[in-house]
């Protein structure tokens, strides 16, 4: 049964890592703009030149 | 191309309806030269994907957006406001670009490097409408970059406020608190499972988890709750009871009782409820903190005026900050530029458009020697002015200072605070009563029962109902074009009983005109001739004439424009003159205010004149009639005359003409002194005082890029006729809050009676707390949505 203490400790630590990652993401401004990154990802292909219909 | 084609053609670039004879290029239709040029530019750079991403995404170059000469951007004082850093010829700047509106805009602005090789990288922040560009300044000066942006229709707005300096929206600390709350809440619940299931304490599982939970509770109290404690403390110090006082009381009671339970071995405590409470409360805070970040509701006068003007000394032209202008300086103002100070016209003919100040779109002609007040926009050729008084002493600045120093609007108590006062009192009375009762029966029960009452009475659902109901209302209104500053405005709107309108620019559209012909009847051929001549003039009235007459055009010959008089030429072999009465050989009869006249002479004979006036917005008469059914309605206007159509709508209501800016705010103040709650709808700077004075001030704007005076809300011009609906929705939202308060009070009463009887267990608390929060939030969300649907179909 004592294995559960190890498990709990490990899982809490993992959760703590995710919490730290979340705080890092907030500080880096990942939640500042929710529109442009979503659009940006669709735009990355190079468009064709002068062949617009 | 047949100019009489009746099918409507829309511009390939901007999607506007094209005039009958428009430009076709590359097999595509364009409404104006500007759009065609942008298309060419994009086509050359191979950026025509722009048009595939969204339908007609282009931005029409809008003259009403304050545009300064691009080379002003190279002046150090302006440059330093925009530049983030600059090192070894590489510079990063941040612009405010309010024109961006769709994914095509984002795509184009982030592909700037393909049009201009000096641009290294450009990034858009759509929520802030901000564009940050890294570029090689040694190859391309800042002014060149600005010119490029203007060419493609995304000219940056230059205001005195530093771009990005005032960050609004959800503070990032709130996100972190929310994250921590979720982490603690989830873990605490997980670790409480043995307790919930009543597992045996073999292997010390329960007690082990217990201490872990105690550990987790520390950030809850000392990090997550600080805002609530601070607000409660502020309330106590100012001797007002706010909703945060019972909440803070509940948090303290929960935590101290739980610690006591654990340390004395009485039980597991209520740590899971505590974490859940904070988690839900913070969600409410987050929901309420959402605002329209790209809109600015507070503005300084300096935002409206140019930063720098060109001063002329002898033959030398040099840029100078507006604040440094001295009396007697000569300044140059070009087409579309704002006059920043009171000045006297020294050279050229001024056509001053005061729409910025009054909302009046028709330009006023000024001759040499006339005084021009600060805030007017020149339309036409460059003019030279002599500064009459420095900026700090200008009439506009004084007006602004007066408004800022005004008495301010009467306070409106928040419903939630009035309720919190009674609620807190009731909770304290009940716990005191329970304490007394148990003191007599079983004194060991006093502490547990009193803390249980305080815990259960914690008004979590109460505190959630308002942010969610008003937050939803704000979003629903925003979808229809009314953008509120914050949730409190909804409650203010719900209590409004008087609606005051400004006329010019608010009830009448800014650019739409009504044209009436007075004189001998014109044949179709006559109109063709007139329109053909009008096309050759830059005068704003000619532009109206050209737009309103729908006849085909011919070429005009021997065209000659006389500044301040009119234009003449020969069309189809007939000599034609357009302009003032004297210029056309007619006599000027009594003029009507708010109406401009263009006289017409054909074949040497004065034929009459066109009277041009503004047109009221469509649907307003109906909306006003609707409003008048429930509320007091008034009209305040600076003009001497009100259009008969509008007057009919306001029949019997207060209509005051010739109101100056101070008259307007005084009128609002008088209404408030009589106990009315006033909502004011206005637009120009001359309404700014009245907007600030009224309980709810709404600014009307036609373009998202326009500058608006400080106000509680900003409204799309097209949404004005929905004003009755908005007011209705606000009142509904308030009623929904009341209903949800009743629901949460029911929970509290049930909980408190269980607790006062001494039956409160951690499990019941852990179920009751989230249940009440979730059900209240669910009810509020659903009810607001139904209210919006219901009132829309009406």
Residue B64, pLDDT score? 40
Q: Report the residue from B52, B172, B191 with minimal CB separation from A27.
A: B172
Nearest chain B Cα to A38, which residue? Answer: B103
Percentage of chain A lying above the pLDDT 90 cut: 23
Q: Is the Cα torsion angle B687, B692, B694, B700 positive or negative in sign?
A: positive
| Interface residue A48 vs chain B (CB under 8 A) | yes
CB-CB under 8 Å, B110 with A19 = no
User: Which residues have C-beta within 8 Å of that of residue B533, sequence separation ≥ 6?
Assistant: B556, B559, B567, B568, B569, B571, B576, B578
Output the pLDDT for position A51: 38
What residues form DSSP beta bridges with B136? Answer: B90
Query: Taking CB atoms and an 8 Å limit, are A19 and B183 in contact across chains?
Result: yes
Measure A18 CA to nearest chain B CA, in Å: 9
CB contact under 8 A, B126 and A33: yes
Three-state secondary-structure class, residue A49: coil
Interchain CB distance below 8 Å, A31 and B127: no
Q: Across the interface, which of A22, A33, A48 has its CB nearest the CB of B125?
A: A33
Q: What is the pLDDT of residue B202?
A: 65
Query: Residue B100's closest CA among B65, B127, B120?
Result: B127
pLDDT band at B74 (very low <50, low <70, confident <90, very high): confident
Going by pLDDT thresholds of 50, 70 and 90, the confidence category of residue B18 is: low
Average pLDDT over residues B553-572: 78
> What pLDDT sits at residue B6?
45
* Interchain CB contact of A49 with B (< 8 Å): yes
Instruction: With a cut of 90, say whether residue A20 has pLDDT above it.
Output: yes
SS3 state of residue B628: helix
Across B35-50, average pLDDT: 75
Is B736 buried (19+), middle (13-18) or exposed (0-12) by CB count in 10 A?
buried
Q: What is the mean pLDDT of chain A?
A: 76
Please answer yes or no on whether B125 and A4 come within 8 Å at the CB atom.
Answer: no
Residue B778, Cα to own-chain centre: how many angstroms?
29
Determine whether the interchain pair B202/A1 forms a contact, defined as Cβ–Cβ distance below 8 Å.
yes
In terms of CA atoms, which chain B residue is nearest residue A15? B183
Closest-approach residue (CA) in chain B for A44:
B107
How many CB contacts within 8 angstroms connect chain A with chain B?
79
Higher pLDDT, B595 or B283: B283
Q: How far apart are CA B709 and CA B707, in angstroms?
A: 7
Highest-confidence range of B183-197, B444-458, B749-763, by mean pLDDT?
Answer: B183-197
B477 burial (CB, 10 Å; 0-12 / 13-18 / 19+) is buried
With cut-offs at 50, 70 and 90, classify the pLDDT of residue B164: very low
Residue B679 near residue B500, CB atoms below 8 Å: yes
Q: Is the alpha carbon torsion for B109, B110, B114, B118 positive or negative?
A: positive
Token duo for residue B459: 């008004």
DSSP structure string for B578-603: EE-TTTTT----PPPTT-EEEEEEET
Per the CB < 8 Å rule, is B179 touching A42? no
CA dist B79 and B495 (Å) reads 46
b/e B365-385 (16+ beta carbons within 10 angstroms → b) = bbeeeeebbbbbbbbbeebbb
pLDDT band at A37 (very low <50, low <70, confident <90, very high): confident
CA distance readout (Å), B134 to B142, B166, B211, B216: 11, 21, 53, 45
Q: Do A39 and B128 touch (CB under 8 A)?
A: no
Angle (nearest 5°) at CA B239 between B284 and B170? 25
DSSP state of A51: -
Is the pLDDT confidence value at B473 over 70? yes
Tell me which chain A residues have a C-beta less than 8 angstroms from the C-beta of B128: 32-33
What pLDDT score does B706 carry? 58
- Judge whether residue B356 has pLDDT over 80: no
Q: For residue B184, what pLDDT is reported?
A: 93
pLDDT of residue B4: 42
β pairing state of B696-701 and B678-682: parallel
- The answer to whether residue A28 neighbours chain B at the CB level (below 8 Å) is no
A31 in contact with chain B, both atoms CB, cutoff 8 A = yes
Q: Among B397, B401, B405, which residue's Cα sits nearest to residue B323?
A: B397
Percentage of residues of chain B with pLDDT beyond 90: 7
B145, B147, B148, B150: CA torsion to nearest 10: 130
Closest CA to B564 of B580, B578, B577: B580
Residue A43's pLDDT band (cuts 50, 70, 90): low
Contact at 8 Å (CB) between B276 and B765?
A: no
pLDDT of residue A52: 41
The Cα–Cα gap between B168 and B291 comes to 8
| Beta carbons of A39 and B176 less than 8 Å apart | no
pLDDT greater than 70 at residue B587:
yes
Q: Distance between the two ends of chain B, CA-based, in angstroms?
A: 46
Q: Distance, in angstroms, between B134 CA and closest chain A CA?
A: 18
pLDDT higher at B22 or B694: B694
Average confidence (pLDDT) over B209-218: 89
Is the backbone of residue B461 left (phi > 0), alpha (psi -120 to 50) or beta? alpha
Two tokens, residue B405: 């120093």
Tell which residue, B739, B734, B747, has the closest CA to residue B774: B747
Q: Which of B662, B654, B656, B618 is nearest to B639 (CA)?
A: B656
| Interface contact A49-B46, CB threshold 8 A | yes
pLDDT in tens, B637-683: 877 777 777 777 777 777 888 777 778 888 888 888 888 899 999 87
Q: Which tens digit of pLDDT belongs to each residue from B269-278? A: 888 889 988 9
Given A27, A33, A43, which is nearest B127 (Cβ)? A33
Residue B773 has pLDDT above 90, yes or no: no
The pLDDT assigned to B180 comes to: 93
Angle at the Cα of B777 from the Cα atoms of B775 and B783, rounded to 5 degrees: 95
- B705 against A48, higher pLDDT: B705
B contact set with A (CB within 8 A): 43, 46-49, 51-53, 103, 106-107, 110-111, 123-128, 170, 172, 175-176, 179-180, 183, 186-187, 191, 202-203, 205, 208-209, 212
Burial class (CB in 10 A: 0-12, 13-18, 19+), B415: middle
SS3 B714: strand
Residue B434: pLDDT over 70: yes
Please, which pLDDT band fits residue A53 given cuts at 50, 70 and 90? Answer: very low
In this prediction, residue B5 carries a pLDDT of: 42
**Are B175 and A43 within 8 A, CB to CB?**
no
- With a cut of 70, say whether residue B152 has pLDDT above it: yes
| Residues in a beta bridge with B614 | B513
State the pLDDT at residue B403.
63
Q: What is the mean pLDDT of residues A22-44?
A: 79
Rg (CA), chain A: 22
Dihedral (Cα; B67, B73, B77, B79), 10-degree rounding? 120
What is the spatial distance between Cα B67 and Cα B335, in angstroms, rounded to a whole number? 10
Report how far residue A20's alpha carbon sits from residue A26's, in angstroms, rounded to the nearest whole number: 10
pLDDT band at B259 (very low <50, low <70, confident <90, very high): very high
**Distance, in angstroms, between B182 CA and closest chain A CA?**
9
Pairing of strands B308-313, B343-347: unpaired
Q: In B, which residues are within 8 Å of A31 by CB distance? A: 170, 172, 175
Tally the C-alpha atoms within 13 A of residue B597's C-alpha that lie toward its C-beta: 21
d(CA B90, CA B120): 9
Binary contact (A47, B47; C-beta < 8 A): yes
Check if the beta carbon of residue B651 is closer than 8 Å to that of residue B489. no
Which residues on adjacent β-strands are paired with residue B518? B609
The pLDDT, as a whole number, for residue B428 is 86
Mean pLDDT of chain B: 79
Q: Which of B233-237, B604-608, B675-679 has the lowest mean pLDDT?
A: B604-608
The residue in chain A having the minimum alpha-carbon distance to the alpha carbon of residue B50 is A47
Confidence of residue B8 (pLDDT cuts 50, 70, 90): low
**What are phi and psi for residue B415, nearest 5 degrees?**
-55, -40
Q: Quote the pLDDT of residue B3.
A: 42
Stretch B513-541: mean pLDDT: 79
| SS3 readout for B497-534 | CEEEEEHHHHHEEEEEEEEEEEECCCCHHHHHHHHHHH
Share of chain B above pLDDT 70, in %: 85
CA-based nearest residue in chain A for residue B131: A36
Quick one: pLDDT at residue A50? Answer: 41
A14 touches chain B (CB under 8 A): no
Among B214-218, B262-266, B509-513, B543-547, the range with the most confident prediction by mean pLDDT is B214-218
pLDDT for residue A1: 62
Using CA atoms, how far apart are residues B311 and B322, in angstroms rounded to an integer? 10
DSSP assigned state of B243: T
Summarize chain B as % helix, strand, coil (round to 5). 45, 20, 35
Average pLDDT over residues B446-452: 82
pLDDT tier, B170 (very low <50, low <70, confident <90, very high otherwise): low
| Average pLDDT, integer, range B450-472 | 82
* C-alpha span between B427 and B253 (Å, rounded): 13
Predicted confidence (pLDDT) per residue in B123-139, tens digit? 888 877 788 899 998 88
* CA count, 13 A, side-chain hemisphere, B337: 22
- Of the residues A15, A19, A30, A52, the best mutation for testing chain B's interface (the one with the most B CB atoms within 10 Å of its CB) is A52
Asked whether the whole model's pTM tops 0.80, one would answer no
pLDDT tens profile B381-410: 778 889 888 888 877 777 777 666 555 677
B317 token code pair: 């032209």
Lowest mean pLDDT across B22-36, B576-590, B630-644: B22-36
Q: Which of B48, B101, B111, B223 to mutate to test the interface with A (most CBs of A within 10 A)?
A: B48
Contacts with B186 from chain A: Cβ below 8 Å: 15
**Cα-based distances in Å from B654 to B639, B668, B694:** 15, 12, 16
Q: By the CB < 8 Å criterion, does A21 face chain B? A: no
- Has residue B529 got a pLDDT over 60? yes
> Which residue, chain included where needed, has tokens 């139904």?
B786
CA-based nearest distance B719→chain A, Å: 24
C-alpha distances in Å from residue B128, one per residue of A3, B97, B177, B235, B641: 51, 9, 23, 34, 41
pLDDT at B282 over 60: yes
């Amino acid at each position: 049964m004592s294995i559960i203490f190890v498990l709990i400790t490990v899982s809490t630590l993992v959760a703590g890592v995710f919490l730290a990652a979340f705080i890092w993401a907030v500080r880096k401004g990942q939640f500042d703009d929710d529109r442009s990154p979503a659009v940006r990802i669709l735009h990355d292909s190079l468009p064709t030149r002068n062949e617009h219909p | 191309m047949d100019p009489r084609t009746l099918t409507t053609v829309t511009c390939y670039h901007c999607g506007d309806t094209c005039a009958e004879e428009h430009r076709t290029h590359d097999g595509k239709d364009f409404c104006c030269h500007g759009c065609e040029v942008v298309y060419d530019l994009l086509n050359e750079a191979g950026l025509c994907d722009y048009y595939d991403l969204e339908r007609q995404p282009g931005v029409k170059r809008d003259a009403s957006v304050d545009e300064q000469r691009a080379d002003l951007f190279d002046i150090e004082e302006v440059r330093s406001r925009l530049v983030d850093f600059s090192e070894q010829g590489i510079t990063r700047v941040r612009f405010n670009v309010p024109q961006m509106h769709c994914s095509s805009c984002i795509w184009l602005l982030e592909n700037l490097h393909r049009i201009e090789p000096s641009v290294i990288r450009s990034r858009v922040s759509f929520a802030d409408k901000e564009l940050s560009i890294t570029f090689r300044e040694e190859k391309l000066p800042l002014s060149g970059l600005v010119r490029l942006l203007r060419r493609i229709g995304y000219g940056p707005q230059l205001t005195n406020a530093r771009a990005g300096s005032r960050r609004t929206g959800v503070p990032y600390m709130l996100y972190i608190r929310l994250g921590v709350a979720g982490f603690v809440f989830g873990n605490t619940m997980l670790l409480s499972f043995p307790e919930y299931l009543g597992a045996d304490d073999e292997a010390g599982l329960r007690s082990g988890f217990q201490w872990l939970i105690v550990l987790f509770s520390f950030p809850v109290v000392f990090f997550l709750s600080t805002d609530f404690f601070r607000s409660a403390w502020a309330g106590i110090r100012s001797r007002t009871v706010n909703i945060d006082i019972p909440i803070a009381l509940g948090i303290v009671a929960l935590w101290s009782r739980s610690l006591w339970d654990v340390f004395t071995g009485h039980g597991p405590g209520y740590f899971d409820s505590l974490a859940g409470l904070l988690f839900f409360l913070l969600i409410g805070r987050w929901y309420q903190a959402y605002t329209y970040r790209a809109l600015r509701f507070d503005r300084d006068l300096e935002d409206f005026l140019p930063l720098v003007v060109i001063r002329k000394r002898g033959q030398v032209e040099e840029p100078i900050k507006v604040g440094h202008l001295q009396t007697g300086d000569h300044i140059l103002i070009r087409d579309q530029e704002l006059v920043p100070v009171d000045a006297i016209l020294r050279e050229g003919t001024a056509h001053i458009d005061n729409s910025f100040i009054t909302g009046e779109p028709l330009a006023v002609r000024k001759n040499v020697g006339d005084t021009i007040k600060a805030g007017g926009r020149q339309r036409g050729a460059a003019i030279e002015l002599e500064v009459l008084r420095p900026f700090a002493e200008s009439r506009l600045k004084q007006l602004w200072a007066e408004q800022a120093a005004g008495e301010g609007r009467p306070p409106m108590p928040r419903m939630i605070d009035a309720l919190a006062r009674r609620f807190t009192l009731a909770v304290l009375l009940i716990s005191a009563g329970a304490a007394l009762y148990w003191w007599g029966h079983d004194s060991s029960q006093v502490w547990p029962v009193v803390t249980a009452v305080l815990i259960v009475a914690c008004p979590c659902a109460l505190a959630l109902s308002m942010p969610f109901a008003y937050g939803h209302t704000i979003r629903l209104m925003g979808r229809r074009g009314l953008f509120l500053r914050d949730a409190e405005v909804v409650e203010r709107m719900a209590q409004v009983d008087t609606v005051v309108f400004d006329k010019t620019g608010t009830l009448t559209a800014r650019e739409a005109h009504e044209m009436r012909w007075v004189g001998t009847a014109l044949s179709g051929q006559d109109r063709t001739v007139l329109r053909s001549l009008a096309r050759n003039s830059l005068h704003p009235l000619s532009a109206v004439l050209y737009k309103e007459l729908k006849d085909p055009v011919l070429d005009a010959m021997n065209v000659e424009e006389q500044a301040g008089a009119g234009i003449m030429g020969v069309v189809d072999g007939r000599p034609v003159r357009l302009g003032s009465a004297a210029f056309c050989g007619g006599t000027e009869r009594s003029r009507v205010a708010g109406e401009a006249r263009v006289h017409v002479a054909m074949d040497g004979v004065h034929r009459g004149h066109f009277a041009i006036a503004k047109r009221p917005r469509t649907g307003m008469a109906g909306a006003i009639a609707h409003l008048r059914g429930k509320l007091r309605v008034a009209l305040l206007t600076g003009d001497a005359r009100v259009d008969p159509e509008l007057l009919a709508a306001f029949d019997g209501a207060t209509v005051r003409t010739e109101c100056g800016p101070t008259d307007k705010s005084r009128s609002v103040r008088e209404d408030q002194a009589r106990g009315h709650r006033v909502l004011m709808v206005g637009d120009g700077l001359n309404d700014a005082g009245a907007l600030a004075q009224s309980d709810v001030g709404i600014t009307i704007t036609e373009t998202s890029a326009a500058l608006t005076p400080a106000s509680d809300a900003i409204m799309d011009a097209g949404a004005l006729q929905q004003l009755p609906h908005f007011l209705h929705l606000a009142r509904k939202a308030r009623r929904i809050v009341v209903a949800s308060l009743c629901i949460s009070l029911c929970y509290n009463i049930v909980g408190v009676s269980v607790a006062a009887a001494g039956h409160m267990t951690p499990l019941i608390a852990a179920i009751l707390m989230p249940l009440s929060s979730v059900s209240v939030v669910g009810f509020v969300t659903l009810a607001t949505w139904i209210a919006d649907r219901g009132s829309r179909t009406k």
